[in-house]
């Protein structure tokens, strides 16, 4: 299923998008990746959505990536005797480990690890930052606070601690169980929440045992500070702007987003920009102009993918939200300014033969009448490197591994196609020409660029490039061997 854009669309599934017809309509409207949110839904529901996606993939012969998003540790206050209380600015308020119901002066915070990390002067944010508490004194089982920003506090509201690195693993017991479940189910990407340090990613990688690629969610200030180290051990990144906007001043988020996207591209690792992209479409068939501008900005920055959350999972207009994203993406990518921005941000940091091959493929494609770059890839690396170049022409990622084809559905500009295992380069060229014609990227009279590694089926051996005709008789005539 050919897309007429390069950026990919991630759609979250939920109560509004759980049946075959709706999920198929989402894919046909433009969703390339489906997100399974492990914070909501029982394992049986997740398994059924997974089954439906794979059925649609088979019915349409279109590789689809499935992203399972782990919940991560949830830090919440306890309960109140009256259900809720009003905190007044300047008042004193205590957090402690006492399980007794709370009142206007105190409430339980059942997380000793928070108290272990707190220092006087640290801020705690409650209910998505609507309430701000500043620590004045603390110990192993309590924190005396001053209410800096007041408001209504109620049962089990979430708590964010932006100023310290918490001694918490990114994986809770629930996450470990969910991780094993979705890996056995056969998801392609695993999104890891609450990442603070590279060790969090390494722990998840050990548990996945190569069954899924790891995508780190950047949602905490600590993760921003050590982003380079986290990126080095991750397969991809999600810029989770919702939590970032709670724990950091909101004006800090746009430059962080831009900086992280560029770093991911330089490392040839997919990056998703997520959270509140078309939030008004949860209830409205039309987005706001500001939302459209936000989506466009992420595309201009060169993001690999843009994501819908509640818009497609629980909204009234899930298909329309995907169509809107698709329309915005097409319009932006047809804007001459888009190419200027993309090309200006290209970093020529090339150190390997594969780097040189894919750079040459882009140069040739853009200076001659080439319709498509066809790259053979086993691990997906060659396709990722080609996508990093952000060529003007489409990219077909040819692979014999279904898992690789599915993972590449998240990568900018790559149209994944399954092919048989090869032993001769001439057959690779013939198969590439067939795929280019069959997928609607080229005609027999056109030329394509083919990259591959010889010997075949050995990851990391990209070492050959050929400009070839799309007509098989001409391929045989120029390469009779």
Using one digit for the tens of pLDDT, what is the confidence trace for 234-291? Answer: 999 999 998 899 999 999 999 999 999 999 999 999 999 999 999 999 999 999 999 9
Architecture of domain 353-478: 3-Layer(aba) Sandwich (3.40)
Cα separation, 336 vs 50, in Å, equals 39
Active-site position among 5, 205, 217, 388 = 217
Phi, psi of 281 (to 5 degrees): -80, 0
Q: What is the CATH number of domain 84-160?
A: 2.40.33.10
Using one digit for the tens of pLDDT, what is the confidence trace for 437-477? Answer: 999 999 999 999 999 988 777 777 788 999 999 988 787 77
Percent of the chain with pLDDT over 70: 99
Cα separation, 375 vs 398, in Å, equals 6
> What pLDDT score was predicted for residue 132?
96
Active-site position among 5, 8, 12, 35 = 35
76 is catalytic: yes
Q: Band of the pLDDT at 479, cuts 50, 70, 90?
A: low
- The DSSP output letter for 410 is G
- Which of 139, 35, 148, 153 has its CA nearest to residue 26? 35
Active-site position among 24, 54, 74, 76 = 76
Strand arrangement, sheet containing 414-418: 414-418, 395-399, 370-376, 447-453, 462-469
User: Which own/partner pairs from 248-253 qualify as long-range (CB within 8 Å, at least 24 positions apart)?
Assistant: 248/162, 248/221, 248/224
Q: Is the pLDDT of residue 395 over 60?
A: yes
Using one digit for the tens of pLDDT, what is the confidence trace for 51-89? Answer: 999 999 999 999 999 999 999 999 999 999 999 999 999
Using one digit for the tens of pLDDT, what is the confidence trace for 91-145? Answer: 999 999 999 999 999 999 999 999 999 999 999 999 989 999 999 999 999 999 9
The span from the first CA to the last CA of the chain, in angstroms, equals 33
Cα separation, 376 vs 357, in Å, equals 12
Using one digit for the tens of pLDDT, what is the confidence trace for 130-189? Answer: 999 999 999 999 999 999 999 999 999 999 999 888 888 889 999 999 999 999 999 999
Handedness of CA 14, 19, 25, 27 (dihedral sign): positive
Q: What is the DSSP string of 73-123?
A: ---B---BTTSEEEE-TT-EEEEES--SPB-SSEEE---HHHHHH--TT-E
Residues of the chain with CATH 3.20.20.60: 8-72+169-340
275 is catalytic: yes
Q: For the chain, what is the mean pLDDT?
A: 94
Residues of the chain with CATH 3.40.1380.20: 353-478
352 is catalytic: no
288 is catalytic: no
Active-site position among 208, 275, 377, 381 = 275
Q: Is the pLDDT of residue 481 over 60?
A: no
Q: Is 377 helix (H, G, I), strand (E, B) or coil?
A: coil
- Domain 8-72+169-340 annotated CATH 3.30.1600.10: no
Pairing state of beta strands 213-218 and 414-418? unpaired
CA distances (Å), origin 405, targets 65, 196, 244: 8, 30, 31
Using one digit for the tens of pLDDT, what is the confidence trace for 282-338? Answer: 999 999 999 999 999 999 999 999 999 999 999 999 999 999 999 999 999 999 999
Residues of the chain with CATH 2.40.33.10: 84-160
Give the mean pLDDT of 410-421.
95
């Amino acid at each position: 299923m050919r897309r007429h854009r390069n950026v990919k669309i991630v759609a979250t599934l939920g109560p509004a998008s759980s049946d075959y017809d709706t999920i198929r309509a989402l894919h046909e409207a433009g969703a390339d990746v489906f997100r399974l949110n492990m914070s909501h839904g029982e394992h049986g529901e997740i398994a059924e959505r997974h089954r439906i996606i794979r059925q649609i993939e088979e019915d349409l012969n279109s590789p689809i990536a499935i992203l399972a998003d782990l919940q991560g540790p949830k830090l919440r206050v306890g309960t109140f005797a009256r259900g809720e209380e009003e905190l007044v600015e300047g008042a004193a308020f205590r957090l402690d480990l006492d399980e007794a119901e709370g009142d206007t002066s105190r409430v339980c915070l059942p997380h000793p690890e928070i108290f272990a990390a707190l220092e006087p002067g640290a801020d705690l944010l409650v209910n998505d930052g609507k309430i701000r508490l500043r620590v004045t004194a603390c110990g192993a089982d309590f924190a005396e606070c001053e209410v800096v920003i007041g408001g209504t506090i109620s049962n089990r509201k979430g708590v964010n601690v932006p100023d310290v690195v918490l001694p918490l693993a990114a994986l809770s017991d629930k996450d470990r169980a969910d991780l094993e479940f979705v890996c056995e189910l056969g998801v392609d990407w695993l999104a890891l929440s609450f990442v603070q340090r590279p060790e969090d990613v390494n722990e998840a990688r050990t548990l996945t045992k190569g069954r899924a690629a790891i995508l780190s969610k950047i949602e905490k200030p600590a993760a921003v500070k050590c982003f380079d180290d986290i990126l080095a051990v991750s397969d991809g990144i999600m810029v989770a702007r919702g939590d970032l906007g709670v724990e950091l001043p909101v004006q800090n988020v746009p430059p962080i987003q831009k900086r992280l996207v560029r770093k991911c591209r330089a490392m040839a690792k997919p990056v998703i920009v997520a959270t509140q992209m078309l939030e008004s479409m949860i209830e409205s068939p039309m987005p706001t102009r500001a939302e459209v501008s936000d989506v466009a900005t992420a595309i201009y920055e060169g993001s690999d993918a843009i994501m819908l959350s509640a818009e497609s999972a629980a909204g009234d207009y899930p298909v329309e939200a995907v169509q809107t994203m698709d329309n915005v993406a097409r319009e932006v990518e047809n804007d001459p300014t888009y190419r200027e921005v993309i090309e200006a941000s290209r970093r020529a940091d090339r150190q390997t033969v594969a780097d040189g091959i894919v750079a040459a493929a882009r140069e040739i494609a853009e200076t001659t009448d080439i319709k498509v770059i066809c790259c053979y890839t086993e691990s997906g690396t060659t396709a990722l490197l080609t996508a990093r170049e952000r060529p003007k022409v489409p990219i077909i990622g040819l692979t014999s591994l279904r898992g690789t084809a599915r993972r590449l559905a998240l990568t900018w500009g790559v149209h994944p196609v399954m092919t048989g295992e090869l032993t001769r380069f001439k057959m690779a060229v013939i198969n590439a020409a067939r795929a280019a014609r069959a997928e609607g990227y080229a005609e027999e009279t056109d030329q394509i660029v083919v990259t591959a590694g010889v010997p075949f089926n050995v990851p990391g051996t990209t070492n050959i490039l050929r400009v070839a005709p799309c007509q098989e008789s001409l391929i045989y005539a120029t390469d009779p061997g």
